[in-house]
A and B are shown apart, each in its own frame.
Chain A
Amino acid sequence: EPEVTQTPSHQVTQMGQEVILRCVPISNHLYFYWYRQILGQKVEFLVSFYNNEISEKSEIFDDQFSVERPDGSNFTLKIRSTKLEDSAMYFCASIPLASGRPYEQYFGPGTRLTVT
């Protein structure tokens, strides 16, 4: 069964460094999401992305964050200058179509980001 993959599984970085989290959505999926989950807290929506554009973003997704689909398979989340409070699990998710019809989101296994 096809699945969403994410790399790395765990990233440790120093405060102020840039990190890029990578996701490979399921191949025929067109709509992508990033979420984060701070340890012990709820899953928070960051951004949704379709056709090389951000569809919607939350107030968490400030100028320090950016997303990109650099090629036909990868979907990346970049944090420009990490802060301690960026430490969290970051999940990528995708859905098959972009029509806005409701679909279940397929989640990747997550990347645990630790900022020291």
Chain B
Amino acid sequence: EDKVVQSPLSLVVHEGDTVTLNCSYEVTNFRSLLWYKQEKKAPTFLFMLTSSGIEKKSGRLSSILDKKELSSILNITATQTGDSAIYLCAVTGGFKTIFGAGTRLFVKA
């Protein structure tokens, strides 16, 4: 059965800390791994990763995929209170997308 597992499930940090969120997957016909940020409603897109070892970067966020280990990490440096959200990892296999349960990040001022 296809599955996506994220860890930790929740995390509380102070502003300025660096965090690393983990995602591991077992999905047949892998096409891509996506990271989303979910605050109040719909997930908003952060990154899409298809190739191993190539880091994607956007401001303080970065992500990398390891297809050998079937995993990905999302790093957030110099966290801010506005980073507080649920971070979702999703893997597209075939014509479906499987989401992990998410990591709930809370950044304290």
Contact = CB atoms under 8 A, between A and B. Distances in A.
Output the residue of B36, B44, B50, B96 with the most chain A CB within 10 A. B96
Given A43-B90, A45-B97, A110 B48 contact: no
Interface stretch (B10-18, B66-74, B77-85, B99-107): B99-107
A45 B99 contact: yes
Contact of A107 (B42, B94, B102): B42
Nearest to B97: A45
The interface residues of chain A, by DSSP majority, are classed as strand
B64 interface: no
B23 interface: no
The interface residues of chain B, by DSSP majority, are classed as strand
Interface stretch (A13-21, A64-72, A73-81, A96-104): A96-104
A55 B99 contact: no
Interface residues of A, number: 24
Nearest to A56: B95
Contacts of B101: 41-42
A103 B95 CA distance: 12
Contacts of A58: 96
A104 B46 CA distance: 9
Given A89-B41, A91-B42, A110-B42, A42 B99 contact: yes
Given A42-B99, A45-B99, A58-B96, A105 B88 contact: no
6 contacts: A42-B99, A42-B100, A42-B102, A45-B99, A56-B94, A105-B34
Interface of A: 33, 35, 41-45, 48, 50, 55-56, 58, 89, 91, 100, 102-110
Given A45-B96, A107-B43, 12 more contacts: A35-B99, A42-B102, A43-B43, A48-B95, A56-B94, A56-B96, A89-B41, A91-B42, A103-B48, A104-B34, A106-B45, A107-B36
